[in-house]
Amino acid sequence: MDPQPEATGQPLSSDEIGLIHAWWRAANYLSVGQIYLLDNPLLREPLKMDHVKPRLLGHWGTTPGLNFLYVHLNRVIKARGLNALFIAGPGHGAPGVVANTWLEGTYSEVYPAIGPDEDGLRQLFRQFSFPGGIPSHASPDTPGSIHEGGELGYSLLHAFGAAFDNPDLIVACVVGDGEAETGPLATSWHSNKFLNPATDGAVLPILHLNGYKIASPTVLARISHTELDALFRGYGYLPIFVDGEEPDAMHRAIAAALDDAVDRIHAIQKAARDGGVTTRPLWPMIVLRSLKGWTGPKIVDGQKSEGFWRAHQVPFTMDKPEHLGLLEEWMRSYHPEELFDDGGRLRPEIAALAPRGDRRMSANPHANGGALMRPLRLPDFASYAVPVVHPGESDGEATQVMGTFLRDVVRENAQARNFRVFGPDETASNRLQTIFEATDRSWDAETIADDVHLDPSGRVMEVLSEHCCQGWLEGYLLTGRHGLFSLL
């Protein structure tokens, strides 16, 4: 068994940590602002009830963890020139996802009415979860997002779908520990048996172990470290643990964990691509054990909030006058005056942490599949017609004919590598088996001599979980490729 991974890479300097921490504070500030404020976005005057939204709807609990991961992913993207996508499984943390896209400048590029200044901030805050504005969950209008945040459970599948046939892409996928209790997510860890390190990209799962779902603990947070470690090793991952609440130590720990994970991903890919290694690798993953609602109010109305399920959604409502002071104190704890200049723009030394152009996760072209999609080359379907000279005389099976058509679709698009068939082991029973003249089933797990049509580079994706088939296909399509769901 591999020992507990050691941190690699250069330790961060105090200056770097200071800037990363500033970005995190800015993202957290913008997240709280989106949930609560209508006006006075930079708290230039004392907060009044008139500045607060009349109806509050949004999720704080997961958000600081997402923000923490986002800025650290940016660091590693910049340091190593990575091409990375971000998937927020707890997509209800949209305040954080949106905040980071605004800090990166992408939001204002895509939506010029939400500028990179104080007025833009006011609009950004106002539109969130507001009539005529944007949803409270990550949604198709969120730049860089292919993952709708409403139905929990599909994040890892979307991540793998995006990584298939994108050899240079790393998909960082945050999985909620509550989300991990869903059927689709629980089975999707096995996606690593269908990923070919030679020709596919990589997925970096990050389990966001903040301990709670809406109003109770999560299962994965209440099993021992040994059991959790064994669980993920059993799924074929090498878990790298980051655990704590003191920001300085946590910044150092997550940076080291990401460096280590990326080193391991690159080593796996090099071994498969240059060294011809064909055995299934032990892919790294990160387990981030942090406080739910980290940096939020510790106590609300005498009850524990930070680090508890009460921080899940809106940590406190505004129906009590004393909550106004609590909100102002919370928002000022991020020191917005140190983060934004007089015009409300993010200070340049903090803004410089963002990767450039389409290396920003919010601007990665893979998240905008329509822009990348190449049309599928399709043979003329009429040439597959079963001849019927006299009515009632010819014999033919519609799906068998379609199997021949699909075989040729696979051949025609073999070079582009942009077509796959997904299904719950029904390709043969649906009589589509002629496709196996052109390709195999994708399979990176063990094989025995009697096996047929199993290969890591196969283009037929078969696993009995229809959740997996659907989720992979969705991730594959949303990143600009083509596929077929074969299920009868």
In the complex with ligand TPP, which residue's Cβ is closer, 152 or 410?
Answer: 152
- 229 forms part of the interface with ligand TPP (CB under 6 A): no
DSSP 346: B
- 219 forms part of the interface with ligand TPP (CB under 6 A): no
- 92 forms part of the interface with ligand TPP (CB under 6 A): yes
What CA–CA distance (Å, rounded) separates 112 from 481?
29
By CB under 6 A, the residues from 274 to 303 that bind ligand TPP are: 292
Stretch binding ligand TPP (CB under 6 A), from 9-17, 146-154, 296-304, 458-466: 146-154
In the complex with ligand TPP, which residue's Cβ is closer, 19 or 288?
Answer: 288
Stretch binding ligand TPP (CB under 6 A), from 2-10, 205-213, 325-333, 457-465: 205-213
In the complex with ligand TPP, which residue's Cβ is closer, 180 or 353?
Answer: 180
Q: Which residue is nearest to ligand TPP (CB)?
A: 176
Q: Which of 101, 182, 364, 413 binds ligand TPP (CB under 6 A)?
A: 182
* Shortest Å distance, C-beta 183 to ligand TPP: 9
List own/partner pairs for 350-358 with CB under 8 A and 24 or more apart: 350/19, 350/22, 350/23, 350/26, 350/103, 351/103, 351/105, 353/19, 353/20, 353/23, 353/71, 353/74, 353/75, 353/78, 354/74, 354/103, 354/104, 354/105, 355/74, 355/77, 355/78, 355/104
- 61 forms part of the interface with ligand TPP (CB under 6 A): yes
What CA–CA distance (Å, rounded) separates 225 from 250?
18
DSSP assignment of 229-278 = HHHHHHTTEEEEEEE-S-HHHHHHHHHHHHHHHHHHHHHHHHHHHTS---
Stretch binding ligand TPP (CB under 6 A), from 25-33, 118-126, 170-178, 467-475: 170-178
- 208 forms part of the interface with ligand TPP (CB under 6 A): yes
Do 228 and 238 meet the contact criterion of CB atoms below 8 Å apart?
A: no
- 183 forms part of the interface with ligand TPP (CB under 6 A): no
Question: Per-residue string for binding with ligand TPP, 3-42, x by CB under 6 A?
Answer: ----------------------------------------
- 62 forms part of the interface with ligand TPP (CB under 6 A): yes
- 210 forms part of the interface with ligand TPP (CB under 6 A): yes
Residues of the chain by 3-state class (helix, strand, coil), percent to 5 = 45, 15, 45
What CA–CA distance (Å, rounded) separates 156 from 147?
10
Render the burial of 116-134: b for 16+ CB within 10 Å, e for the rest. bbbebbbbbbbbbbbeeeb
Stretch binding ligand TPP (CB under 6 A), from 59-67, 122-130, 299-307, 432-440: 59-67
**Residue 397 φ then ψ, to 5°:** -120, 125
- 68 forms part of the interface with ligand TPP (CB under 6 A): no
What CA–CA distance (Å, rounded) separates 349 from 197?
37
What CA–CA distance (Å, rounded) separates 339 from 321?
28
- 197 forms part of the interface with ligand TPP (CB under 6 A): no
In the complex with ligand TPP, which residue's Cβ is closer, 152 or 163?
Answer: 152
- 256 forms part of the interface with ligand TPP (CB under 6 A): no
List interacting residues with ligand TPP (CB under 6 A): 59, 61-62, 90, 92, 150-153, 176-179, 182, 208, 210, 212-214, 218, 292, 312
